Amino acid sequence: MNEHMIAGQDGVKTYVADFDPVGAYTGPPVLCLHGLTRNHKDFQGVIEPIRRMGRRVLALDIRGRGRSDWDPNPANYTPLIYAQDVLNILNRLGLKRAVFLGTSMGGIITMLVAAFSPATVAGAILNDIGPEVDPVGIQRIQSYVGKIGKASSWDEAARMIASIGEQAFPGRSADFWLDFAHKTCIETADGIVFDYDPAIAQVAGAGDPAAIPTLWEPFAALNPIPTAVIRGALSDLLSVDIVARMKQAKPDLITVEVPEVGHAPTLEEPEAWTAIEAIIRQTR
């Protein structure tokens, strides 16, 4: 694995984990973009299978998360800035196009990049996100982002995360939540905390869930691009109705649903992998 710290136009650096393919290259790289409070570790379970398909894999920590810089201006924590960062990173790495694998916020970034630079997006996999979101899901996210305190141990961190995540992943084991904690938290001198700038929570919690703008116009930019949408069957962010309207707008859209999972699938589920594999095979 190679690692990069790539500065944006404003100097804020983004961390990129860069994995070579197994064997010969078979097509453009796969760019993994995580959700609001997550980081590149979200994709640990799918990086190796994608590499075995002959693809280079790039997994980012969007600014303010993981190993990337915190932005001194929290107003920059917006998908528009993130999309600019992504285009800059691809340019700096000499890459003209990639398959985008975006979870939640990462899918929003994908749609915006497609609108700004459609030739850059060779294929798109949207994980539990569409051009419109259900306000119920936004309200749930706003209810906990930035409001969970520090944990004194990893077991305590796992229990805290389970308390807010069991609706999306019912019946999961203690080991599942411990792994979840290690992917989303970091150990500091003051305790175990979520691995993102707390200012992100201030920005995310400031808007009216019912007033979030839709992205049907950026979604339309994906019309000529191989695209799949993965929905968690228990999702409160991406409704069945929204997926149906996405399919109506783009009849060749690949749609899959992951049972017994809410927002958002981990991507290791067989149904999710079916969509990922299908889009990668369509891109050369």
How confident is the model at residue 54, as a pLDDT?
98
Residue 73 has pLDDT above 70, yes or no: yes
Q: What is the average pLDDT score of the chain?
A: 94
Smallest Cα–Cα separation from 253: which of 111, 116, 61, 155? Answer: 111
Residue 210 has pLDDT above 70, yes or no: no
Residue 151 DSSP symbol: B
Neighbours of 75 (CB within 10 A): 9
Lowest-confidence pick of 19-28, 127-136, 164-173, 207-216: 207-216
Amino acid symbol at 227: T
Structural domains in the chain, sorted by start: 2-146+213-282 (3.40.50.1820), 148-197 (no CATH)
Residue 207 has pLDDT above 90, yes or no: no
How confident is the model at residue 201, as a pLDDT?
83
* pLDDT tens for each residue of 226-254: 999 999 999 999 999 999 999 999 999 99
Residue 84 has pLDDT above 90, yes or no: yes
* Tokens at 241, concatenated: 């109705």
Residue 135 has pLDDT above 90, yes or no: no
* Tokens at 4, concatenated: 């990069």
